[in-house]
Each structure stands twice: as structure tokens, then as C-alpha cells.
């Protein structure tokens, strides 16, 4: 094992401990009303040393049952999109949401709920320090970048948030409702793959780009 391996292993281990410490604080959170109507706080999962962090809107029914993000139909589609880019969700990404508790009947989280939950997400971003953030859908875009932003206008363009590159794209649930959105999402993922090779791993292999 060389020095680089040791450095990267120790950084991984301290990040892992930090994210686990944060998780212990978030799981008992009752700071907004969403906690009353859900069964589990869905903290997020993935590799805390990942170069890519994905941010969605909030847990749905399946996610609420299992306490894991993106495990329903939209999550399965997200896995396929990631695979097409050469990414394994547990190896190359960390996945979280704007709110960590399921809104009743999957409604869009209210502005005050997003604001209350935001410090947890910011803490995740600070620990993981991804080079690339992918925002999945309007709520993620509005939550992190601008409450008035329109996903239809801003998707596919690189933005920045605290020195991190941010790519907004459509939420996989939108693709399930409207398959015509698959093409623009694929265009956005190709941009992510190109940037990933530039910033993180020049040898990254993707089956399609």
C-alpha cells in the first residue's frame, strides 16, 4: 500500500465516520411537521467519498417503508440511467433528498419544510464534498439554487453552488410520466460523464459515452 492509498483510506474512513455521526443526529429529527406523517427518516446512502452527489425531492412510499432513497420505480430508472453513464450508485455516488421525511400523499414539500430540512443536506454536502452535484427535478433545483428557478429552462446547464459544479436535470419520476424527457436527461448525463472524466477520473468507462 503506498502513501496515496493510506491518505485516501484515512480520508474515506473519517468521512464515513462523519456521515454516520450526522446520520445519528438526523434520524431522530422532528423539526418539521413531515415527521408526524412518515414512518422513517430517509437520511441518504452511497459512498461518502463519491465524486457525484445526487439530490432528489423527498422520499416516496417505498422509500418511506424501507428508509432508503430512490428504491421505487423512479429509483430503478435512476439506477439504469446511472449504469448507462458507467456509474454504480453505491460506488460512484451519494444520494439524498431535499427533505428527509415523506410528504403526505407525495405532495411537493412546502417552502418552510425545505428550509427546515436544508441544514441537514448542507451538512451532507460539506462532509461528502462532491465535485459534481446532480439535481433531480424542480424541487431540488429550487431548494438548492433558487426558489424561482424553472427546471425546463435551467436543466442541462452547469451551475455552481459553493464551488461545486451543479447539473440540474429532470427527476426520474417525470420520465416515467413522460418518456420524451429521456433524451434531454441522457444529454445531461453525457455532460456529467465528460466533466467526471475531466475532474475526477480520466479513465472512467461508460458503456454509451
Binding site for ligand SF4 (CB under 6 A): 26, 29-32, 34-35, 41, 99-101, 113, 116-117, 120
Among residues 8 and 30, whose Cβ is nearest to ligand SF4? 30
Q: Specify whether the CB–CB gap between 174 and 185 falls below 8 A.
A: no
Give CA–CA dist 192/182, Å, rounded.
15
- Whole-angstrom distance, CA of residue 63 vs CA of residue 72: 7
Q: Which lies closer to ligand SF4 via its Cβ, residue 11 or residue 31?
A: 31
Q: Which is nearer to ligand SF4, 2 or 105 (CB)?
A: 105
| Residue 142: CB minimum distance to ligand SF4, A | 16
Quick one: which of 107, 115, 111, 118 has its CA closest to 59?
107
Least Å distance, CB 61 to ligand SF4, is: 16
Nearer to ligand SF4, 99 or 185 (CB): 99
Question: Three-class SS of residue 202?
Answer: coil
Smallest separation, CB 114 to ligand SF4 (Å): 9
CA distance 134 to 79: 14
Tell me how far, at minimum, the Cβ of 156 lies from ligand SF4, in Å. Answer: 29
Contact, 58 vs 104, CB < 8 A? no
Amino acid at each position: 500500500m503506498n502513501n496515496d492509498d493510506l491518505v485516501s483510506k484515512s480520508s474515506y474512513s473519517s468521512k464515513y465516520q462523519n456521515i454516520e455521526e450526522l446520520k445519528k443526529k438526523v434520524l431522530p429529527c422532528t423539526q418539521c411537521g413531515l415527521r408526524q406523517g412518515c414512518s422513517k427518516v430517509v437520511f441518504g446512502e452511497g459512498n461518502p467519498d463519491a465524486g457525484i452527489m445526487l439530490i432528489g425531492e423527498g422520499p416516496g412510499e417505498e422509500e418511506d417503508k424501507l428508509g432508503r432513497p430512490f428504491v421505487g420505480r423512479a429509483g430503478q430508472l435512476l439506477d439504469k440511467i446511472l449504469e448507462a453513464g458507467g456509474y454504480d450508485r453505491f460506488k460512484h455516488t451519494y444520494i439524498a433528498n431535499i427533505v428527509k421525511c415523506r410528504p403526505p400523499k407525495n405532495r411537493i414539500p412546502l417552502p418552510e419544510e425545505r428550509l427546515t430540512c436544508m441544514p441537514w443536506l448542507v451538512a451532507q454536502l460539506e462532509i461528502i464534498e462532491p465535485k459534481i452535484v446532480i439535481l433531480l427535478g424542480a424541487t431540488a433545483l429550487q431548494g438548492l439554487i433558487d426558489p424561482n428557478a424553472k427546471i425546463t429552462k435551467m436543466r442541462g446547464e452547469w451551475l455552481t453552488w459553493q464551488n461545486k459544479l451543479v447539473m440540474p436535470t429532470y427527476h426520474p419520476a417525470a420520465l416515467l410520466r413522460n418518456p420524451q424527457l429521456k433524451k434531454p436527461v441522457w444529454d445531461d448525463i453525457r455532460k456529467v460523464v465528460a466533466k467526471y472524466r475531466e475532474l475526477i477520473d480520466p479513465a472512467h468507462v461508460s458503456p454509451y459515452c
